[in-house]
Structure 1
Amino acid sequence: MIRHVQSFAIFVNDLDRATAFYRDALELPINKQGSFGLELFHEPPHVGIHPAVHPDSKALVGRHTGITFHVPGLLHFSGTLHDRGVKFLTEPTKMSWGVMAMIADPEGNVFALWDDEVPPDET
């Protein structure tokens, strides 16, 4: 019987650059690290950052991952991400259900950032 999602995999060509991005720019916690790459987050579901060594995994570098990270205070944190050089494909946008932005890692892997708290409009 399937219990839960254990992990998602993201493939990269430059593991050192990816480590700096996910650890330093995004401030994501590293649970494990080794020749396999990185395992982010201390509890499942984990996000695995893996070197693209096989032809099938090389084809998956630089794609939309379908992963959405929950970021409380996204409007504020996006300023920090800009300062750290994170590439925004879509700036944080207020919608009726929350705030969403799209970013890419240095390899072109795309993620959504989401905050379910819609801040009031400043007047």
Structure 2
Amino acid sequence: MLNAIDAIRIFSGDFEETRDFFVNALGFVIGFEGEGVAVYDLAGTKLILEELDLSEPEAAGMVGRFTGISFAVDDIDTAYKDLKAKGVHFEGKPEREEWGGALAHFRDPANNVFTLVQYPQQN
């Protein structure tokens, strides 16, 4: 009944800065943009950036949180260096994990946390 995940929504109180970060630092292409919303099509899954008025009570806790969204990369060290050179703020260097892969967490201008993941090579 349910198919693949179609879209993931991310929230920001500074829409312009966060939109520009996704385009300029991460290289995402905007497929649709409207007032307070930008949609990036990432190989079949949409990442939707939505603007929130941070003075509204229901906005509390929706911005600046761990998203649980991971972006797979083939070479985490190279991706880390390239993104860091573009001004992406990482919480630390890539760390090798017990399961054989590696992770590195970074933040967007709204302080939302994302993850780079390099999976172990399959033989």
Measured against the shorter chain, the TM-score band is: 0.7 to 0.9
State how 1:20-35 maps to structure 2 within 5 Å.
Answer: 20-35=20-35
User: Letter of the aligned partner of 2:64 in structure 1?
Assistant: G
Shift of residue 58, structure 1, vs aligned partner: 4.4
State how 1:107-118 maps to structure 2 within 5 Å.
Answer: 107-117=110-120
* Residues 1:68 and 2:70 aligned together: yes
Q: What CA distance in whole angstroms lies between the structure 1 residues aligned with 2:118 and 2:87?
A: 21
- 1:121 maps to which residue? none
- 2:40 maps to which residue? 40
Give the structure-2-normalised TM-score: 0.83
Shift of residue 38, structure 1, vs aligned partner: 1.2
8 Å Cα contact 1:11/1:58 also seen in 2: no
- Deviation per CA, 1:37-88: give whole Å up to 9, x if none: 1111254321111001353234301001111111222211211211111111
Shift of residue 4, structure 1, vs aligned partner: 2.5
8 Å Cα contact 1:31/1:42 also seen in 2: no
State how 1:1-123 maps to structure 2 within 5 Å.
Answer: 1-53=1-53, 55-95=57-97, 96-117=99-120
Q: What CA distance in whole angstroms lies between the structure 2 residues aligned with 1:29 and 1:91?
A: 26
Shift of residue 97, structure 1, vs aligned partner: 2.3
Q: Which moved more, 1:46-55 or 1:36-45?
A: 36-45
Structure 1 alignment gaps of length 5 or more = 119-123
Give the structure-1-normalised TM-score: 0.83
Q: What CA distance in whole angstroms lies between the structure 2 residues aligned with 1:72 and 1:49?
A: 25
8 Å Cα contact 1:36/1:51 also seen in 2: yes
The change in CA–CA distance for 1:36 and 1:71 in structure 2 (over 3 A counts) is: same
Q: Kindly tell me the number of residue pairs found equivalent between the two proteins.
A: 118
Q: What CA distance in whole angstroms lies between the structure 2 residues aligned with 1:14 and 1:57?
A: 13
User: Letter of the aligned partner of 2:47 in structure 1?
Assistant: V
Question: Identity over the aligned pairs, expressed in percent?
Answer: 26
User: Letter of the aligned partner of 2:73 in structure 1?
Assistant: V
Q: What CA distance in whole angstroms lies between the structure 2 residues aligned with 1:63 and 1:42?
A: 21
